[in-house]
């Protein structure tokens, strides 16, 4: 079984993701406390809701990995040796990435600043162009046909399609 390793491109993207979220919150706080806030109030509240939803997806993914994944003794629980396909993973294949994307979108809406938009849009494109395809390739190599079947049943991040497919699977059972 292949040991998953993060590429330099992936690590740089993760760093930019953290910078984006932190920058969004700093700019929001600066605008809110030190300037007359110029933002659109509705976008602010929608941004907080989207960001909170992102945090929930991210944490649910980590929880399910810790609960169902089987890592080698002394290894990080994210380096599981079994395919986790229950819980939130029965709805979407990449809940942590979905959560991260929602956090980026939330930070853009919360800060309502051009700088978070300039950093956030390329980050969102990075997820679609690089992270999802790369993760799926690595997981196919790691888990083989089981992961390919899983991909046919569970969408990457489309929550609505995932819920519909889950309900159809449960109805058949």
Q: Residue by residue, what is the 3-state secondary structure of the chain?
A: CCCCCCCHHHHHHHHHHHHHHHHHHHHHHHHHHHCCCCCCHHHHHHHHHHHHHHHHHHHHHHHHHHHHCCECCCCCCCCECCCCCCHHHHCCCCHHHHHHHHHHHHHHHHHCCHHHHHHHHHHHHHHHHHHHHHHHHHHHHHHCHHHHHHHHHCCCCCHHHHHHHHHHHHHHC
In the predicted structure, residue 155 carries a pLDDT above the cut 80: yes
Domain map (residue ranges) of the chain: 8-172
Averaged pLDDT for residues 84-100 = 91
How does pLDDT run across 42-76, given as a tens digit for each residue?
Answer: 888 898 899 899 999 989 988 998 888 877 777 77
**The pLDDT of residue 157 is above 60:** yes
Quick: pLDDT tens for 4-38: 455 665 666 677 777 777 777 777 777 666 655 55
Q: What is the mean pLDDT of residues 74-94?
A: 84
pLDDT number for residue 53: 95
Per CATH, the architecture of 8-172 is what?
Answer: Up-down Bundle (1.20)
Question: Confidence class of residue 3 from pLDDT cuts 50, 70 and 90?
Answer: very low
pTM score over 0.75: yes
């Amino acid at each position: 079984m292949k040991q998953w390793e993060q590429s330099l491109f992936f690590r740089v993207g993760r760093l930019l993701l953290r910078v984006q979220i932190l920058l969004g919150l700093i700019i929001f706080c600066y605008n809110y406390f030190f300037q007359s806030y110029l933002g659109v109030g509705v976008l602010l509240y929608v941004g907080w809701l989207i960001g909170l939803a992102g945090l929930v997806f991210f944490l649910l993914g980590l929880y399910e990995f810790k609960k169902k994944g089987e890592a080698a003794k002394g290894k990080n629980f994210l380096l599981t040796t079994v395919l986790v396909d229950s819980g939130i993973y029965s709805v979407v294949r990449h809940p942590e990435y979905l959560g991260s994307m929602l956090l980026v979108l939330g930070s853009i809406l919360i800060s309502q600043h051009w700088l978070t938009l300039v950093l956030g849009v390329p980050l969102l494109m990075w997820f679609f162009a690089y992270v999802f395809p790369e993760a799926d390739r690595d997981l196919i190599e790691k888990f083989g046909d089981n992961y390919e079947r899983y991909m046919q049943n569970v969408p990457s991040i489309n929550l609505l399609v995932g819920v519909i497919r889950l309900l159809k699977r449960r109805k058949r059972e």
